[in-house]
C-alpha cells in the first residue's frame, strides 16, 4: 500500500502533462487544482480501503477532474423542454418572451438607458413612465405602476389604501393561488382588516352594502383564477361594485389575476376578465400579473385612477417592490405588440401556443415521430390526440384539444423512463398517462424539436432496444 501511495503523482507534476490541455484553456487553474486535489484524495482513500489496486491512468484522473469541475460550473438554472402541455407552467418559468421583448432586454442591458432620466428636461425622471403610455393607450386607465409581481401589487394596493382599515371581500373569493400564495394571508400582512361577506358559493350586492361602515377603506374583488364554483352560485359583477363604491365614496379594486388583453375566440365562454374591458368600466384600481396570459416578464401591473396610483407611488415601501430595467424593457415591448392583436397572437409565445391549430400541431408531431421511428424502429411510439392546459391559474376547467405522442418503454418502467429524460443535459419534462410517457407538442418549441428527437433516440436505444 505504501508503495502504491508513493506512485500517486504530485499535483504540480500531474498538471504539466499533455492531457490537461483542453481543460486548462477552459477553466481557471485554481478551480482545476481544487478539483484535482479532491480526486487524488479519493484515490488515496480508495487505496487505503483496498478498493483500488493500482493508481489510475492519468487520462482517468483528468476525466474525473473535469467531471468535478463541470458539476461546479454547470448552471443551476437551465433550459428544459416542456412537453407537459401546460402552457403557463409556473414551475417551469411561466411565459416565454417574444423576440421583441428579448431584443429589448438585450438592448437595455448592454447600454445605458433613460430609466430615470427625462430626456426633454435633461434631469431626473420617473422609472414608471416607460410602460405608462402604452398601458393608458390599451386600457384608457389614467395612471399605472409596475411592481415585481401581482402578489406585490395586491400588497401595495391594500397597504396604501387600507392599512388599519377594513376591506370588504366576498368569502367566495378568498382563494389560494398556489405556491402558498393565499389572498387572505397577503391581505393580513398588508395591515388591512378583512371584512368577509356572503358565503362560499353566493354573495350578493346587498352583502357588500350591509358591511359598509365608517372604517371601510376599500371594496375588493378577486378573480378566483384557478378554481370554479359551479351550480348554485352568485357573485357580484365589478360594474355593480363600482356603482356601490361611488354611492358611498369608497374605491373599488379588482385583482384580475392573469392579464388577458385580447379576447381568445378560441374559447367562446371566456371566464377570464379582459383587462381593457374591465379598465374601461372606470374601476378605481385593477391589478394583474405580467407573466401569465399577458405573456410578458414577471411583473405586477397596477392601473387605475391617478389619485390612488399617486398614493401608491408615495408609499415608502414601493421601492422594495420596484422592478428592474430589464423587466420594464421586456414589459413595454410585450405591451406594444398588443396594438395589433393578430400580431400579438403570432409573436407572443404564450398566445401563440394557446391558439396553435390542431392541423399544425399534428403536422409537427408526425414530423417528430417519423424522425424518432427512423432511428428506433422497434419502439412502441404512437402519435395521438392529447389535451393541453392553460396553467398559471387561468381557465382552470379548460382542456384544449391538442396533438402529441407517447412511448411505452419495453425494458424499464414508465416512471424510470420519465426520470431518465428529466435528468438529460436538456431535461425533457413529460407526463405519465395510462402506462405511457406522453409528450404534448403544443408546448415544445419548434427550435427544440431537433434536440428532443436526438435525446429521445439516444434514451430509447439505450433502454428500449430488443437485445
**Inter-residue contact 241 to 252 (CB < 8 Å):** yes
Q: Given candidates 142, 166, 235, 255, which one binds ligand PLP under the rule CB under 6 A?
A: 255
Q: How far is the CB of 310 from ligand PLP (least distance, A)?
A: 23
Sketch the per residue contact string, 161 through 200, with ligand PLP: x for CB under 6 A, - otherwise. ----------------x---x-------------------
Grid cell digits, residue 206: 346587498
Q: How far is the CB of 33 from ligand PLP (least distance, A)?
A: 44
> For residue 6, with 0-12 CB atoms within 10 Å meaning exposed, 13-18 middle and 19 or more buried, which class applies?
exposed
The values of phi and psi at residue 238, to 5°, are -60, -35
Q: How far apart are CA 287 and CA 222, in angstroms?
A: 10
**Inter-residue contact 190 to 163 (CB < 8 Å):** yes
Residue placing its CB nearer to ligand PLP in the complex, 302 or 369: 302
The SS3 assignment for 349 reads helix
The values of phi and psi at residue 397, to 5°, are -100, 5
The DSSP secondary-structure symbol of 234 reads B
Sketch the per residue contact string, 369 through 398, with ligand PLP: x for CB under 6 A, - otherwise. ------------------------x-----
Residue placing its CB nearer to ligand PLP in the complex, 9 or 396: 396
**Per DSSP, what are the bridge partners of residue 169?**
196
Residue placing its CB nearer to ligand PLP in the complex, 162 or 177: 177
Q: How far apart are CA 154 and CA 285, in angstroms?
A: 10
Return the residue nearest ligand PLP (CB atom). 257
Choose the stretch contacting ligand PLP; rule: CB under 6 A; options: 30-38, 250-258, 265-273, 402-410.
Answer: 250-258
Residue placing its CB nearer to ligand PLP in the complex, 225 or 402: 225
> For residue 326, with 0-12 CB atoms within 10 Å meaning exposed, 13-18 middle and 19 or more buried, which class applies?
middle
Sketch the per residue contact string, 122 through 151, with ligand PLP: x for CB under 6 A, - otherwise. ---------------------------xxx
Residue placing its CB nearer to ligand PLP in the complex, 179 or 377: 179
Q: If binding is defined by CB under 6 A, does position 223 make contact with ligand PLP? A: yes
**Per DSSP, what are the bridge partners of residue 168?**
195, 219
Residue placing its CB nearer to ligand PLP in the complex, 141 or 183: 183
Chain positions contacting ligand PLP, by CB under 6 A:
149-151, 154, 177, 181, 222-223, 225, 255, 257-258, 289, 300, 393
Amino acid at each position: 500500500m505504501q508503495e502504491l501511495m508513493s506512485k500517486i503523482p504530485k499535483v504540480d507534476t500531474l498538471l504539466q502533462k499533455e492531457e490537461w490541455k483542453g481543460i486548462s484553456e477552459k477553466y481557471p487553474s485554481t478551480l482545476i487544482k481544487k478539483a484535482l486535489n479532491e480526486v487524488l484524495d479519493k484515490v488515496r482513500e480508495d487505496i487505503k480501503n483496498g478498493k483500488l489496486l493500482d493508481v489510475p491512468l492519468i487520462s482517468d484522473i483528468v476525466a474525473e477532474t473535469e467531471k468535478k469541475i463541470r458539476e461546479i460550473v454547470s448552471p443551476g438554472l437551465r433550459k428544459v423542454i416542456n412537453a407537459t402541455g401546460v402552457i403557463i407552467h409556473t414551475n417551469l418559468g411561466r411565459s416565454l418572451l417574444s423576440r421583441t421583448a428579448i431584443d429589448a432586454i438585450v438592448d437595455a442591458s448592454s447600454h445605458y438607458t433613460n430609466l430615470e432620466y427625462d430626456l426633454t428636461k435633461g434631469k431626473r425622471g420617473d422609472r414608471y413612465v416607460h410602460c405608462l403610455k402604452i398601458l393608458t393607450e390599451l386600457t384608457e386607465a389614467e395612471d399605472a405602476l409596475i411592481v415585481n409581481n401581482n402578489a406585490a401589487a395586491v400588497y401595495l394596493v391594500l397597504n396604501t389604501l387600507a392599512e388599519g382599515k377594513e376591506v370588504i371581500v366576498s368569502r367566495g373569493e378568498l382563494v389560494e393561488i398556489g405556491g402558498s400564495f393565499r389572498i387572505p394571508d397577503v391581505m393580513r400582512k398588508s395591515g388591512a382588516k378583512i371584512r368577509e361577506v356572503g358565503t362560499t358559493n353566493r354573495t350578493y350586492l346587498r352583502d357588500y352594502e350591509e358591511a359598509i361602515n365608517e372604517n371601510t377603506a376599500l371594496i375588493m374583488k378577486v378573480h378566483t383564477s384557478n378554481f370554479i364554483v359551479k351550480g348554485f352560485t352568485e357573485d357580484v359583477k365589478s360594474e355593480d361594485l363600482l356603482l356601490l363604491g361611488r354611492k358611498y365614496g369608497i374605491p373599488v379594486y379588482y385583482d384580475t389575476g392573469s392579464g388577458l388583453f385580447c379576447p381568445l375566440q378560441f374559447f367562446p365562454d371566456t371566464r377570464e376578465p379582459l383587462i381593457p374591458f374591465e379598465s374601461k368600466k372606470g374601476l378605481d384600481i385593477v391589478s394583474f400579473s405580467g407573466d401569465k396570459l399577458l405573456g410578458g416578464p414577471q411583473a405586477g401591473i397596477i392601473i387605475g385612477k391617478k389619485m390612488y396610483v399617486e398614493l401608491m407611488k408615495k408609499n415608502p415601501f414601493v421601492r422594495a417592490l420596484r422592478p428592474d430595467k430589464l423587466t420594464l424593457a421586456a414589459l413595454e415591448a410585450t405591451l406594444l405588440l398588443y396594438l395589433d392583436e393578430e400580431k400579438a397572437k403570432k409573436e407572443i409565445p404564450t398566445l401563440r401556443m394557446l391558439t396553435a391549430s390542431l392541423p399544425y400541431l399534428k403536422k409537427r408531431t408526425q414530423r417528430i415521430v417519423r424522425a424518432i421511428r427512423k432511428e428506433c424502429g422497434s419502439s412502441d411510439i404512437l402519435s395521438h390526440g392529447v389535451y393541453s392546459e392553460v396553467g398559471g391559474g387561468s381557465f382552470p376547467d379548460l382542456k384544449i384539444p391538442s396533438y402529441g405522442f407517447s412511448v411505452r418503454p419495453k425494458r424499464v418502467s414508465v416512471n424510470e423512463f420519465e426520470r431518465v429524460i428529466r435528468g438529460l443535459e436538456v431535461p425533457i419534462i413529460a407526463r405519465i398517462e395510462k402506462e405511457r410517457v406522453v409528450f404534448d407538442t403544443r408546448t415544445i418549441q419548434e427550435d427544440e424539436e431537433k434536440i428532443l428527437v436526438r435525446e429521445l433516440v439516444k434514451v430509447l436505444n439505450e433502454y428500449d432496444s430488443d437485445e
